[in-house]
Structure 1
Amino acid sequence: ALIKAYVALSELPMSSIQQYKLGALATLTTPNFKAGSMGDLAAATFGGIIRYQKFASPVIFNWLDQHRYVSEMLAATWPDLVIEPLALPADWSLLVGWTGSPADTQALLESGDLTDRDAAKQLLAQNTAPLVGMIETGLRQADFDKVRAAMQLSQEQLFAYASRVGLAYVTPALLSLLSIATEAGVGAKISGAGGGDNGIALTNDATVATAIRDAWQRAGITPLPLAIAFN
């Protein structure tokens, strides 16, 4: 927000990708956030629906250690970084439910069985990469069933990861959130850290969307009044 405001106020000729990179550089130098995906920065910078792949962190950290000029880093190609806009069909709705307890993503990821964690992370990345591609294809083709299936398979992979490392990931409230959505025939998954955080669902039926929100409320889950912001 600060970067966007300053760029607008000063009428700086900075592209969206440069603004994203500047935000990422600031975040990488902030200890509590430097290990994050930076996907939230990409979403906030570009708006809408995006396909995102994180840059190669070691390369950027090396640039920072070399004290390169910020302007040089903003102009450079960042290895592995992918940010591509995608469209959401007009009759599809994103639902967000909050179970009422914040959770620290990094703290949860660093907990659990230390011996198995790295191998489990690699397996998670390997198994979910094709699912991201499946969601991308589904959105491009407006194929709701494909996106729904990919979301559910992605959630199954998250369950498997949590089980492998002994991670306290799924609370009863989050399980209820998922059950209500999947029983309604929509795609759903936990979004964020788990452990009492958020869940999302995607539907192509307004009546079903209303029914899910009502059922979440009855289960003590707060449907957040959020919508996707398009720049």
Structure 2
Amino acid sequence: MIETKAPGKLYIAGEYAVTEPGYKSILIAVDRFVTATIEDSEVAQGSIHSKALHHEPVNFKRNEDQIVVSDLHAAKQLKYVITAIEVFEQYARNKGMELKHFHLTIDSNLDDASGHKYGLGSSAAVLVSVVKALNEFYQLNLSNLFIYKLAVIANMKLQSLSSCGDIAVSVYTGWLAYSTFDHEWVKQQIEETSVNEVLKKNWPGLHIEPLQAPENMEILIGWTGSPASSPHLVSEVKRLKSDPSFYGRFLEQSHACVEKLIHAFKTNHLKGVQQMVRLNRTIIQQMDAEATVDIETPTLKTLCEIGEKHGGASKTSGAGGGDCGITIINNECDKQAIYDEWLQNGVKPLEFNIYHGQ
């Protein structure tokens, strides 16, 4: 039996701007995972079992390029798993490989015990865990870049608004600087060429760069207890494009801020990191005021104010509107004081660690 895992993610900076090709963001992988296990089937039929969805295993067969699941209701819920298999098998088939029958099981601890979502990017981690499991099962030894691209192609078949930064950090782990690719270009390539050809090409705008955090730096994560709808928030913000001067200014400010933030990482400059995190919060607040979507909810505002009061640099994480906020501190800072005050104000500390791969 083969077991692979893909971590969840949190955005640290560059949110919203990252939906445009070439505009950088910074993310982290956290030590909460989607786990995929795969083993040979002894009969001419495979199965998919999602423990995360509390499903019994469902059988599947292949019909040309499609995975056909015996239970239609389950097929809808398993669409990320099924699409990842289909895309991977197109690649394997193009490589002249004979497809095998297998049993695939998916499990997750990305949500809290009662099923509430933290906003850690579960669909991305599902895609990555499945591609990684199939990569090992077929012994293809694919690079991280090819694993990322296969998961992205599957994701693009299912939704269009994602920057796919969550997929990148789920593959590369640790701290990551990321900018998305030209989605229209990749979409056209998928339609016009084979999966294998798309993987081999350079994707315009794509930037994936592992980073090392400054010494003595620690990141604290607080959860508001209310989930956010990233696609809804992103589409609302995209409406700002109708005012190109404002939207263009937002993109340039975010870009300059994140570039300076990356420089602070590379020069081991903790205070520089904190300064740019605060600036990124201000840039997003200005954009939020224009878009009126309530990115920084009252609870997230309180989370940030408490972090700042104790010497940390705080902001919302990801799309905002709920989910998580972060505070960057010097590790000599009294983090328990921040945790205690967060708890008194309805914010749950998530004591996750940054995950740096196996």
CA separation in 2, counterparts of 1:161 and 1:155?
10
> What is aligned with 1:11?
139
CA separation in 1, counterparts of 2:216 and 2:237?
40
Within 5 Å, which residues of 2 pair with 1:28-67?
A: 28-31=156-159, 34-66=160-192
> What is aligned with 2:326?
200
- The structure with more radius of gyration: 2
1:41-64: CA deviation from partner (whole Å, max 9, x where unpaired): 110000011111111111101112
In structure 2, the CA distance between the partners of 1:113 and 1:41, relative to structure 1 (3 Å rule), is closer
1:119-169: CA deviation from partner (whole Å, max 9, x where unpaired): 344332111101111111111111011110101110101110011122222
Length-normalised TM-score, structure 2? 0.61
Q: What's the offset of the Cα at 1:71? A: 0.8
Within 5 Å, which residues of 2 pair with 1:14-25?
A: 14-25=142-153
Are 2:214 and 2:270, in contact at CA under 8 Å, matched by a contact in 1? no
Q: What's the offset of the Cα at 1:115? A: 6.2
CA separation in 1, counterparts of 2:275 and 2:190?
41
Which consecutive unaligned segments of at least 5 residues does structure 1 have? none
Are 1:93 and 1:209, in contact at CA under 8 Å, matched by a contact in 2? no
Choose the corresponding residue for 1:152, options 278, 289, 304.
278
1:74-93: CA deviation from partner (whole Å, max 9, x where unpaired): 11111111101111235321
CA separation in 2, counterparts of 1:35 and 1:113?
10
Alignment RMSD (CA, Å) = 1.8
> What is aligned with 1:225?
351
Q: Output the amino acid matched with 1:18.
A: F
Choose the corresponding residue for 2:196, options 64, 71, 81.
71
CA separation in 1, counterparts of 2:241 and 2:206?
28
Q: What's the offset of the Cα at 1:95? A: 1.2
Instruction: Identify, as 1 or 2, the structure richer in helix.
Output: 1
CA separation in 1, counterparts of 2:163 and 2:214?
26
3-state SS, counterpart of residue 29 of structure 1: helix
Q: What's the offset of the Cα at 1:114? A: 4.0
3-state SS, counterpart of residue 96 of structure 1: strand
Which consecutive unaligned segments of at least 5 residues does structure 2 have? 1-128
Identity of aligned residues (%): 28
> What is aligned with 1:165?
291
Q: What's the offset of the Cα at 1:170? A: 2.1
> What is aligned with 2:228?
103
Q: What's the offset of the Cα at 1:221? A: 0.1
Are 1:176 and 1:219, in contact at CA under 8 Å, matched by a contact in 2? yes
In structure 2, the CA distance between the partners of 1:222 and 1:128, relative to structure 1 (3 Å rule), is same
Are 2:215 and 2:270, in contact at CA under 8 Å, matched by a contact in 1? no
Q: What's the offset of the Cα at 1:65? A: 2.6
> What is aligned with 1:81?
206
Are 2:214 and 2:269, in contact at CA under 8 Å, matched by a contact in 1? no
1:91-112: CA deviation from partner (whole Å, max 9, x where unpaired): 3211111101101112022237
Are 1:169 and 1:194, in contact at CA under 8 Å, matched by a contact in 2? yes
Count of aligned positions: 228
CA separation in 2, counterparts of 1:95 and 1:196?
16
Q: What's the offset of the Cα at 1:117? A: 5.5
Within 5 Å, which residues of 2 pair with 1:205-220?
A: 205-220=331-346
CA separation in 2, counterparts of 1:89 and 1:176?
26
Q: What's the offset of the Cα at 1:113? A: 9.4
Are 1:4 and 1:19, in contact at CA under 8 Å, matched by a contact in 2? yes
